[in-house]
A = this chain, B = another copy of it.
Amino acid sequence: MRGAEAEKLVHRSLLFSSPFSEVVANGERFNRLTVNGKPGTFRSLRLIQRSMPKISHKAGAMPASPIRKLVPYADKAKKEGKKIFHLNIGQPDIETPEVMLNAIKNSNIRVIEYTHSAGTESYRKKLAAYYQRFNMPVNVEDVMITTGGSEAIEIAMMTCFNPGDEIIIPEPFYANYNGFSCAADLVIKPIRSYIETGFALPPIAEFEKMITPKTKGIMICNPGNPTGYLYTREELEALKEIVKKYDLFLLSDEVYREFCYDNKQYVSVMHLSGIDNNIVLLDSISKRYSACGARIGALISKNKEVMAGALKFAQARLSPPTFGQVGAEAALETPQSYFDAVTKEYTARRNFVIESLNKMEGVFCPKPSGAFYCIARLPIDNADIFCQWLLESFNHNGQTVMLAPATGFYSTPGAGINEVRIAYVLNLTDLANAMSCLEAALKVYPGRTIAKTETVAEVK
């Protein structure tokens, strides 16, 4: 079966307009023949029987997790007996509140049933009340419970944006925004923030320059992962003006709300007035209660169209996890003393880490006011190589440290090449050992970019 017979079965228009390199005719799969880089005619197609179907372009284009790509090197180092301090992921060591764990243990569930697709009504009601305590005007009908903050982002992107739409996101940003944008065929337009200003919001004029007819939203993370930066009211008001002017969606990922230091005030996008229909708040209990594995988040908006659209995506996946919701509802009773202790602990960790880093020769790290991350600039040639080298080729008294190269948090090629993200999610003793490892490593790393006798002044 070739030539004329096959030709009958293939739609010629499809053959030459299709972006795909293959066509199927009568059960046999053809690769398009190219002659000098141009497609050949149909008669010159080469007939190739493939042994397996191809996965999607999207699956190929999806970014692998930049945080997890070093894991094989860490596994190997562990097998060799090295002790690794994990400052690379946002998995806190803090215990989940007793009240949450107990609710799950003591639940008298006999049948683990689906809940409402938007989450149980009792949890939604209590969650709305939780936001009201932060003076955020959230009512029960504005709340949809999601399977982790991840699903809130995924559903928000699919609900708000068409394939090819552009969303402006200050970089460095949480790396998984790339994955969800890829899944939703959304184009991220990064706008650079800089370590020198502590990753403050770029000037609004810079946002305005990036607006095109395809721009349909802005997304922020506040307090920021990976920067730890806490946006001021002035910055948020500036965002509000541009959102209003260009009629954009403003997606705000505020999962680190409870992690603000130095008595600085947390300002939510829900505190902004006059842009109710533009705002989509993305939330999660993962960090708040150190309950990452519960997979409970929330999508919140006062825009009725957004909530109706989002619910349809939620209905397709039936419901968020039942035990996670039982725990999350109970966790709302967590006493303030828990948060006070956590804030005190993270403040001490942050102070120690930032001070330690800035004491190291050639290192600069701005002091963040929120979350539990910081980005440090190191005197190194390449953070990806350095982080791999730490695991593969370095140890300090049998110990080493695992960091996240900041390159994975930037979209702009080359940005963050000498920066790393550090999650201060270990206790002070472990952090002290980790900082010792890092300091020792920087002294002997082959790709060190400053001579050993240089002073630190110039870099800082």
Contacts and interface: CB of A to CB of B under 8 A. Distances in A.
Nearest to A246: B27
A359 interface: no
A310 B148 CA distance: 19
A418 interface: no
A444 interface: no
A158 to B, nearest CB: 6
Contact of A59 (B23, B159, B321): B159
A160 B292 contact: no
Interface in A312-347: 312-313, 315-324, 327
What class of interface size applies to chain A in its complex with B? 35 or more
Identical copies in the complex: 2
A52 B23 CA distance: 43
Interface of A: 10-11, 14-15, 18, 20, 23-25, 27, 29, 49-60, 62-65, 68, 91-96, 100-101, 104-107, 109-115, 117, 147-148, 150-151, 154, 158-163, 165, 176, 179-180, 183, 185, 211-217, 245-249, 277-278, 289-295, 303, 305-306, 309-310, 312-313, 315-324, 327
Given A147-B321, A321-B323, A180 B316 contact: yes
Contact of A319 (B212, B295, B312, B313): B295
A315 B159 contact: no
Contact of A309 (B60, B100, B154, B310): B60
Given A96-B109, A109-B96, A162 B20 contact: yes
A20 B166 CA distance: 14
B278 A295 contact: no
